[in-house]
Amino acid sequence: MSTAFISHADCRRHEMGAGHPECPQRLDAIEDWLIGTGLDVALQRFDASNASPQALERAHSSAYIAHIRDLLEGLAASGETRAIDPDTIANPYTWSAALKAAGAAVQATDLVLDGQVENAFCAVRPPGHHATRDQAMGFCFFNNVAVAARHALDDRGLKRVAVVDFDVHHGNGTEDILAGDDRVLMVSIFQHPLYPFSGAVPKGENMVNVPVPPYTKGGEVRELIEAMWMPALERFRPEMIFISAGFDAHREDDLGQLGLTEADYEWITLRLQDVARRHAKGRIVSCLEGGYHLDALARSVGAHLRVLAGV
């Protein structure tokens, strides 16, 4: 089994200020864990390429892309930093990082569909699942997974793809972009109420939203996934699975109050891999979203990748 690991040095240069949880050290922690455990030798490494304007327009409006490009290119020229909202801050390197993050997801999709690898993990930042069609928010600028899913459908000719989101926060941006597209099934589980305080009422019939209260533990999450996600995925028979892989539902992560562990992320990945092998030729593209306790993040990504790589 072959697994691509896609990242880029530019993703570490995007900074949102001292003490911000979405920091470059997240990628360093993952890298250190892979090297320390020897898991890195089981992965095929690729440098991320830029997303094209055409790829971005599959998920975002042309007006939004032009606005965010002008803003971020201006910061790159001036060397300034600017807050997009109280939580989302751009620096001179954000434009390059955002293009690489979305581009990695598209690149991963092509690598998998071309048969060069069976699956792929994109260790990128900024994350993407809060970025709506027309708005940057929640640490996100472009919706990496939505861009990739639409690329698979519109450019590569797939008929059905699934998007799976297990971040502790609801993927409101992904839902905003993909709701009502019957070529997509999105299944998610998230703490509610919690930022962005959405998801309790799905926006489309192609959404399977599973909000759970604070302090829900892994065993309960597994039962809900088995009852809610799996029948929907079986009926849908996706030709490819995209994962918004947020690891902030871990019990050690302070940005949420759920109780997952590495073993739960391993179990979720195994269940999704089983669906992918039966319906999608094993094809999975996973993109990093949240996860802010550095050690828990590294361990959880390691558990996720061990399943994907079969080691």
How many whole angstroms separate alpha carbon 15 and alpha carbon 126?
9
Task: Kindly state the tokens that stand for 15.
Answer: 């900074």
Query: CB of 50 within 8 A of CB of 101?
Result: no
Q: Which residue has the tokens 């319906």?
A: 279
Q: Say whether pLDDT at 233 is over 70.
A: yes
Closest CA to 72 of 47, 175, 20, 56: 56
The per-residue pLDDT for range 254-285, each reduced to its tens digit, is 999 999 999 999 999 999 999 999 999 999 99
Mean pLDDT calculated for residue range 233-240: 98
Which 3 state secondary structure label does DSSP give 289?
A: coil
The per-residue pLDDT for range 24-35, each reduced to its tens digit, is 999 999 999 999
Task: With residue 215 as reference, give the H or E element that holds it.
Answer: none
The per-residue pLDDT for range 6-15, each reduced to its tens digit, is 999 999 999 9
The CATH number of residue 209's host domain is: 3.40.800.20
How many whole angstroms separate alpha carbon 273 and alpha carbon 262?
16
Q: Say whether pLDDT at 247 is over 80.
A: yes
The per-residue pLDDT for range 81-130, each reduced to its tens digit, is 999 999 999 999 999 999 999 999 999 999 999 999 999 999 999 999 99
Query: CB under 8 Å to 230, separation ≥6 — which residues?
Result: 271, 275
Which range of residues forms the domain containing residue 208? 3-309
The verdict on whether 169 is a catalytic residue reads: no
The per-residue pLDDT for range 60-90, each reduced to its tens digit, is 999 999 999 999 999 999 999 999 999 999 9
The per-residue pLDDT for range 175-210, each reduced to its tens digit, is 999 999 999 999 999 999 999 999 999 999 999 999
- Domains identified in the chain, total number: 1
How far is C-alpha 6 from the chain's CA centre?
Answer: 13
pLDDT confidence of residue 1: 66
Q: Which residue among 14, 60, 129, 130 is the active-site one? A: 130
